[in-house]
Structure 1
Amino acid sequence: MDSHEVPGAHVHLPFPFLPPIIGRDRELALAHALLLRDDVHLVNLRGPGGIGKTRLAQELTQRLVSTFDLVVFVELAPLREPTLILPAISSALHAPPHRPVLEGLIETIGERRVLLVLDNLEHLLPHVQDLTTLLAHAPHLKIVTTSRRVLHLRSEHDLPLAPLSLPQDDTEQSEAVQLFVRLAKTVDPTFELDDKNRALVERVCVLLDGMPLALELAAARLRAVPLEELVEWLGTPLEVLADGPTDAPRRSRSLRDTVGWSYDLLTPNEQEMFAVCGVFVGGFTKAALEAVTGRPDVRNFLIQLVEHSLLRSTTSLGGRWSMLEPIREFAHERLDESPDVRNVRERHANYYLTLSEQAESWTQTLKAEWMERFKAEHANFEGSLQWFIQEDRAEDATRLCKALRPYWLGRGLNRTAIAWIERVLATPSGRPRTTHRAELLGFAADHTVQLGDSYDSGERYCHESIELHREYGNALGEANVMCSLAWLYDGSGKGDAARDLRLDLLNRYEVLGDQAQVAMVLCNLGTGFIDAGKYDRALAYFDQALPELERLGDVTNLAFHAVFRAVVFKRTGNVDACLHEMKRSWQLGAAIEDRAFLWRALGIVAYLVRQSGQADFATRLLSAQEHVRLQMQRAMLPSRQKELEEEQQALRSILGQAAFEKAWRAGEKISLAKIQSQVDAWFAAPVAMRAKPEDQGMPDVLTSRERDVVALVAAGFSDKQVASKLGIRGGTVSKHVGNVLGKLELKNRTELARWAMTHGVSPSIT
């Protein structure tokens, strides 16, 4: 073995030159701290192949050389016999060759502080207990191992490695992005991360789950294919990511070989369970695995696969397991080779159909706990839909589309929904004039309403669905689709037709005894009168609908009801009433995830924030609103485009072009969770604190006399002294102070003094 000498220590390292490590600060700090503890003698760096265990061990070794008398790095991958662990260590330490191996090692180590790094131990575990024997006779020995498996030694401190961090708000902060860019530069020295390739680089990192080896092999492919094409190729990473560096170990030259090395270490039963896990995309629960395997004893298999670093566990949503995508693809290939593959896929599809129909929802979105679960199972639901379509089971596919409808609506996934529905409608069992076809067409119309640009196709969906519902005598189904048709009429400029249809619907729902839908139609009539500029009539319909909406307690409808009222007050210039309604709406909306609601709400909040004097924050909110619209792939109606442009122009005139553009870019990058948190804080703040001092001068709500009182009270004068200076009574001073506290929503004189100082309030007299 080549040695690399470091002054002050005897070091045998096979890696004299290494590029700076990216990320791993947490793991390095943990491992470093563990190895400095007197009670810790063995640290196992554990993770799947290609996760970066060896590189972390190398970095850790280099950082610890000054702490030990002797540092030795031993590569164990070439060994095939577990009995050769100690002889390999003996050779690396140059122990006496003619003594029993253990005795020679103990004598060589002696009382010295020795760090022994054993790389790739997972295939030699039958004799790993030899390390415990060695540690028992060498009190100052520390061992670091890298392994894909848990060692199951009492002296072991397990340190599992996660993938590199993926892009979030700031792409450049992602460790996976940093590594890919650095590796891409080794292929093309001119490669730089910029606005043109940023989304593609992010996509590569996400597709490969931040797995360092996969990123290395993907970057190498840039020699042969442009980045855009590489993203498409990575749909099947095991086929693409091969032919790695010839100076790397053979198992690290292709992703398939890397995963295959771990797979070969499993027992036949474990391999079978591993293959079944490949049917899940994005993870699964224990209940899901039990349902799909038909076995009640999956717990032990989960433990084994986690300990082999082929599964990752998380405590989210009560416990889930997942695979890195390259590992999952390998498992799926093994499943496809299994004679039981059809049964597995059938049980998988049926399980997720049953799960979807258990969900609780509001009018057009799921309740919060179910929304989180559906987001986690998104890919599994799509896998189930794909199976039903492939097997020509339109009725089951319709049931699943119906159950997914509030999820798709709430998350703004309307184009996704329509694409799936169209595929179901095109199946042989989806084409006949059946009740499930009528339902599917109605769902498609409902999603089309949310897009704002597909009115002709939406009306076709509606007319065929209405016709089928009439054939089957389904009056309620017919009326529900007519609601969608009215919205489509609104969007295409047929306001009178929409209003006539809704008046007809009022009678229909009254006859059907569906008061919930009566309330919804009343609200919809109100929105139509907003667009017509007849605000009094709009408010009258909203008032008529409110008692039934409150009785039902559906927070989605109540939140939208308040939003629509806020729109009326915004357009009529009643800022206080608009603020009151929008605050109520925002509080209701906190309980739901509905992108359509968020999109509407952010625009009104931006207007209110601008009115309060915070033009920079208002610009960020308006930008975030536009980002939500683009995420939903929703077209902009001409009337709303005009409103947006007018608001943008108002903000430009306040901030100037450069500051406006800077704030707009910031709004595009900020996460929705952070934006929502900032709006929460803005609504929660007292009126006087909502604007920054530099954005807002003295609010007009205070009279000149009140300003004088505030200034003197803030300066520390008593009520009697203030009264004397202003020539008024002491009781009048107290009354002014009380009025100001109420206007500014402040709690006491201390807050009032702080507010006066912040806003530079001074009296008009001295």
Structure 2
Amino acid sequence: MFRLLGPVAVLDPAGTPLPVGGPRRRALLAALLLHPGTNLPVERLVGMLWPDPPPPTASTMVHGAVAALRRALEPSAPHVLVTRDGGYVLEVPPEWVDAARFERALEAGRRLLATSPQRASSLLSEALAEWRGPALAGVEEPFARAAAARWDELRLQCFELHADAELRLGRHSTVLARLDELAAAHPLREELCAHLIVALYRCGRQAEALAAYRRLRATLVCELGVEPGERLRGLELAVLRHDQRLQPAHTSGATLPAPLGSFIGRDGELDELPALVRSHRLVTLTGPGGSGKTRLALEVARRLTDVDTYLVELAPLPTSALVAETLAVALGIRAEPGHALARTVAAALSFRPAVVVLDNCEHLVSACAELVQTLLAGAAELCVLATSREPLGVPGERVHVVRPLPAAAADESWERAAASDAARLFADRAAAAHPGFTVTAGNAALVGEVCRRLDGMPLAIELAAARAATLPLAELADRLDDRFALLESATRAADPRHRSLAAALAWGYDLLPAAERALFARLAVFPAGFDLAAARAVCGGPSDVALPLARLVASSMVNLDDQADGGARYRLLESVRAYAGELLDGPTRAALADRHASHYLGLAQEAQPRLFAAGSGPWLERLHAERDNLRAALAWCFDADPERGVRLVRCLWHYWDLRGSRDEGLHWVQMALAAVGPDRPDQRMPLLSAGALLHVGRADLAETVRLATEQLALSEPRCARRWEGDALAMLATVDWARGHFDRAQQRYEDAVEACLDGGDVWSAALAEAQLARLHRDRQEPDAARLVALRSLAHADDVGEDVARGLALDVLASLEFRWGDTAEAGRLVAEALALYRGVRYREGEASALRLAGEIALRAGRTAAARDAFRTAFELCRRIGHRAGTAGALEGLADVATMSGAGDAAAALLEEAAALRARIGVPRLAAG
């Protein structure tokens, strides 16, 4: 990997810096990296590296420097520095260069800012994380300074865009300190100042917001002789008026997907349904597949602009046991120890008005009905908009039947026919496939016939319209007639609207070449999105699937979703997938499910060791992107091949724990334990370990003890030291939670020894961090520091971010209590970055609260307020009520220091009430 955003450097695949050499070689490397794939003659390199006139031996020195660079690069990146036509070329893929990765993420974040601020914020954070200091630091030649200036400007733009995304998401407190710092360093940048004004105002600091505007105005007038732009002047007026438009728009943790095309028709329903949702709280849109339930629900949700809106897609779920977990993941909420997940979700949704769209409930009706009743009872301002082929049957439910789009009668005038909703939809989608297509006097009768034959079913009309680019309308209508005749005998008793959708799908299917038809049916094995590699592994045959898959996309039988990183994922609409599945016979379906399970087991096995090493974040994200496929693989395995299901569970427990998906993890762990009895201890011990860990994360202490005790009993006679140490650590954690400190200490110490004997350095590092916390809580600073440093050393040996973050977090708390506050701040900042890199939200919230305490002791009340407020918002979002109470208490301390006694008393009262509800007292500081 090549680094330009900071000191110029080269890293080998393990992340170790390579010996590039002195300033001249680094300048040469920078010159080559700034022109990747370009042949740079020696004369040009001389001109870039030396002022005019260059020394007589400059060419010789260039040749020597290139030779030295090539020797340094050869072991890790052979053949990238090549000689060509008397010059030199550095041939490296863009993803090897931090500057290229930065620019790619920046542009992707810029594109997504308006439609998906959550994803934009994540991408822009990744872009900023590429920087390690000033660009091309240490390379002072003019060519480098010009490139560095460009990148420095892009970095500032990236900061501005990231702040914009965070403000759109309501995270003003998160970015305030950085905005303040950047605005001071760049006093002429109006965009930075605008974001700072908004963030200050939202944090209740109106006077400071106005002062920021006045500073910018004075600087612009004094240095440039110009007034601030219209936007800044408008912001000043909005602050003075307390304009509500300065408040954050209501956005969800998982924003609604951007529409892929215009929404046509149903004007009356769009006028009626938003009010219906508000007044009835549960509205269920019913109708057959392809009638447009999902699209209508999303359009209604978009019109509810004054509430948070969340989409929960249930179609891929293989079992009702995962309904609550899926909702929690979509909302960014995690199970709270000691409480049912549904109640935790309801509590998290009770803070302000929200609408949850539950999409495709029909195969999980009972579980959805139970969940909705719990949510509506626990969150008074929550409304649910469900889509299902049948009602949920919940008291108070209002059912709205989604009917087909009206199509003109055969004897209507062509103008009226063209104005019908069905014809307008056909024309819009046909124009997308065949630019310039319109409904005219000459073709209106045929368009109307097609729409009538398809009974006005939106999905069927869209599928037919997609063929307008390749088939004359007359032939299109004739083929539909043939298809209806063919289907009549098979579907005589079915609802005609189901027959019309099946007809459109079957007609489109018959138009496909043989290879595309075969692939289309096989793709039904994927419950949700999939990438090209998965399609090749699961559905491929002797020939590649890429071209047939592209043709299926062009035929609108498969949807293509571009990803922000430049990749792509494919998916079938649920009705289309159901139709494709009907084309498969039983043995073929089973064989595909087997290949699907094998592919995703392979992915999980590839990821598993990387989850316990440096750079685990991207692998966790990859598993998260494939969660629906992993669930389908698990469900099939435990039905057909439990041994494979057990192997999958052993690969995924760490992912479930970090993402807070402990209910889901326990569901699959229990399935695995049922398949592996005590007579197979080597296979059972890892499952007992996973179950104990997931239970302790939920504060199910009795279950933790039961599983860990069995694990210990199995491990000791077999000298399975790794699993013995793991079980002892779990039992020690329960002892600690119950206040049995002496026994906890002994068990932690024995656990560390056993883990190290068994070669499990990662578990040893975690146990040592917990032991250091125990010494801290017993007021034993020397012992705590010694053990925490050992934990950090072992965590560094492994390189995994959670272990390193936990060790640094504990060390920071020790420095805060008994050492250097500034060092504590540095340590906790590093821990926070590690937690965020793997999205370990519980750790992030804990580190933020400690960061707030450190800032408060140093007298930095603004930074303390920001940290506590961010911790509060995060804990509230993930359903961590004890953490929410701690953040409220931190905000109360800030208010006390700021002289706002009444506000402090109110915050403490709210925190005390929350602690009383959950039965978790506030620990005394010390």
TMscore range, shorter length? 0.5 to 0.7
Equivalent position of 2:872 in the other structure: 623
Counterpart of 2:844 in structure 1 is 598
Matched, 1:440 2:523: no
- 1:63-103 Cα offsets, whole Å, 9 max, x none, are xxxxxxxxxxxxxxxxxxxxxxxxxxxxxxxxxxxxxxxxx
SS in 1 for 2:569: strand
Runs of 5+ in structure 1 lacking a partner?
A: 1-24, 27-165, 220-226, 666-766
Shift of 1:458: 1.0
Structure-2 change in CA distance of 1:328 and 1:595 (3 Å): farther
The answer to whether the 8 A contact 2:835-2:841 is kept is no
Q: Aligned residue for 1:141?
A: none
1:164-184 CA distance string (max 9 Å, x none): xx96459699779x9899876
Pick closer, same or farther for the CA change 1:513–1:281 going to 2, 3 Å: closer
Which letter does structure 2 place at the counterpart of 1:297? D
Aligned-residue offset at 1:620: 2.8
Q: Quote the offset at 1:364 in angstroms.
A: 8.7
Name 1:358's counterpart in structure 2. 606
For residues 672-711 of structure 1, the aligned pairs below 5 Å read none
What are the superposed Cα offsets for residues 267-318 of structure 1, whole Å, 9 maximum, x if unpaired?
A: 2543332222222133212221122124132112111111012221435567
Could you say what secondary structure the match of 2:525 adopts? Answer: coil
- Whether contact under 8 Å (1:277, 1:328) holds in the other structure is no
CA contact (8 A) 1:167 1:173 kept: no
Between the aligned partners of 2:668 and 2:798, the Cα distance in structure 1 is 32
Q: Residue in 1 aligned with 2:295?
A: 212
3-state SS in 2 of match to 1:357 = helix
Match of 1:380 among 626, 629, 632: 629
Given that 2:869 and 2:891 are in contact with CA atoms closer than 8 Å, whether structure 1 keeps it comes out as no
Corresponding letter in the other structure for 2:730: S
Q: Give the conservation status (yes or no) of the 8 Å contact 1:388–1:396.
A: yes
What is the alpha-carbon distance in structure 2 between the residues aligned to residue 201 and residue 577 of structure 1? 56
Conserved 8 A contact 1:609-1:617: no
The alignment status of 1:553 with 2:713, answered yes or no, reads no
Match of 1:321, SS state, is strand
Are the equivalent residues in 1 in contact too, given 2:297–2:357 (CA < 8 A)? no
Distance 1:197 1:486, change over 3 A: farther
Which amino acid in 2 is paired with 1:556? V
Aligned residue pairs total 479
Residue aligned with 1:297, SS: coil
Check whether the contact 2:689–2:727 (CA below 8 A) recurs between aligned residues: yes
Q: Counterpart in 1 of 2:457?
A: 253
User: What letter is aligned with 1:322?
Assistant: Y
Tell me what 1:312 maps to. 560
Q: 1:579 aligns with which of 825, 831, 851?
A: 825
Give 1:441 deviation, angstroms: 1.4
On the 8 A contact 2:638/2:645 being kept in 1, the answer is yes
Residue 402 of structure 1 and its aligned partner are, at CA, apart by 1.5
Is 1:342 the counterpart of 2:617? The answer is: no
In the alignment, is the contact (CA less than 8 A) between 2:804 and 2:831 conserved in 1? yes
Q: Which amino acid aligns with 2:746?
A: D
C-alpha distance after superposition, 1:710-749 (max 9, x if no partner):
xxxxxxxxxxxxxxxxxxxxxxxxxxxxxxxxxxxxxxxx
Residue-by-residue CA offset, 1:386-443 (whole Å, 9 max, x unaligned) = 011111x33321211111122222222222111211123234x557654322221111
Find the counterpart in structure 2 of residue 406 from structure 1.
654
Question: Does structure 1 retain, via aligned residues, the 8 Å contact 2:519–2:548?
Answer: yes
Equivalent-residue separation in structure 2 for 1:189 and 1:576 (angstroms): 53
Of structures 1 and 2, the larger Rg is shown by 1
- The SS at the match of 1:265 is helix
Q: What SS is found at the alignment partner of 2:606?
A: coil
Q: Aligned ranges for residues 3-18 of structure 1 at < 5 Å?
A: none
Asked if the contact 2:724/2:751 (under 8 Å) is kept, the reply is no
Counterpart in 2 of 1:367? 616
1:445 and 1:649 mapped to 2: Cα distance? Answer: 36
Residue number in structure 2 paired with 1:525: 771
Q: Is the 8 A contact 1:306 1:313 kept in 2?
A: no
Contact 2:872 2:884 (8 Å CA) reproduced: no
RMSD (CA atoms): 4.5
Instruction: Give the C-alpha shift of residue 351 in structure 1.
Output: 0.9
Alpha-carbon distance in 2 for matches of 1:470, 1:577: 42
CA gap of 1:430–1:585, structure 2 versus 1, over 3 A, is: same
1:275 aligns with 2:521: yes
* Maintained 8 Å contact 2:692/2:704: yes
Select the residue among 352, 361, 364 that pairs with 1:233: 361
Alpha-carbon distance between aligned partners in 1 of 2:830 and 2:266, rounded to the nearest angstrom: 46
User: CA separation in 1, counterparts of 2:540 and 2:389?
Assistant: 32
Distance 2:871 2:822 in 1: 20
Does structure 1 conserve the Cα–Cα contact (< 8 Å) formed by 2:617 and 2:838? yes
1:244 aligns with 2:372: no
Q: 1:513: Cα distance to partner?
A: 6.1
Q: Deviations over 1:606-657 (max 9, x none)?
A: 3345552226523431223313542xxx674xxx676445214224555688
Evaluate the alpha carbon distance shift between residue 623 and residue 324 of structure 1 in structure 2; reply closer, same or farther with a 3 A threshold. Answer: farther
List alignment gaps of at least 5 residues for structure 2.
1-113, 116-249, 303-354, 365-386, 391-400, 408-421, 423-450, 460-497, 911-926
Q: How does 1:446-525 map to 2 (within 5 A)?
A: 446-451=693-698, 453-470=699-716, 472-509=718-755, 511-512=757-758, 517-525=763-771
Aligned pairs for 1:615-654 (under 5 A) are 617-627=866-876, 629-630=878-879, 636=882, 643-653=886-896, 654=898
1:609-620 correspondence to structure 2 within 5 Å: 610=856, 611-614=859-862, 617-620=866-869
Q: Equivalent residue for 1:541?
A: 787
Query: Residue 394 of structure 1 contacts residue 425 of structure 1 at CA under 8 Å; is this kept in 2?
Result: no
Given residue 604 of structure 1, which amino acid in structure 2 is its aligned partner?
A: L
Percentage identity across paired residues of the two chains: 21
Aligned letter for 1:440? L
Q: Structure 1: how far apart are the matches of 2:636 and 2:902?
A: 52
Shift of 1:462: 0.8
Aligned-partner residue type, residue 253 of structure 1: M
Change (3 A) 1:541 1:339: closer
Distance 1:275 1:657 in 2: 66
Query: CA–CA distance in 1 between the matches of 2:801 and 2:891?
Result: 31
| AA partner of residue 352 (structure 1) | Y
CA drift at 1:559: 1.9
CA gap 1:403/1:366 in 2 versus in 1, 3 angstroms: farther
For the Cα contact (< 8 Å) 1:167–1:174, is it kept in 2?
A: no
- CA–CA separation in structure 2 for the residues paired with 1:599 and 1:536: 27
Q: CA deviation at 1:549?
A: 3.4
Q: Is the 8 A contact 2:616 2:800 kept in 1?
A: no
Distance 1:515 1:297, change over 3 A: closer
User: Superposed, which structure 2 residues align to 1:181-192 within 5 Å?
Assistant: 186-187=271-272, 190-191=275-276
Distance 1:570 1:399 in 2: 43
8 A Cα contact 2:270 2:300, kept in partner: no
C-alpha contact (below 8 Å) 1:284/1:321 kept by paired residues:
yes
CA displacement at 1:371 relative to structure 2:
1.9
CA distance, structure 2, for counterparts of residue 230 and residue 518 of structure 1: 43
Say if 1:521 and 1:426 are closer, same or farther in 2 by CA, change over 3 A: closer
CA distance in 2, matches of 1:420, 1:488: 23
* Rounded Cα–Cα distance in structure 1 between residues aligned with 2:583 and 2:569: 18
Q: Which one-letter code corresponds to 1:233 in the other structure?
A: C
Question: 2: distance between equivalents of 1:581 and 1:233?
Answer: 47
Tell me the amino acid that sits aligned with residue 623 of structure 1. Answer: F
Residue 140 of structure 1 corresponds to which residue in structure 2? none
Distance in 2, Cα, partners of 1:253 & 1:660: 60
SS at match of 1:371: helix
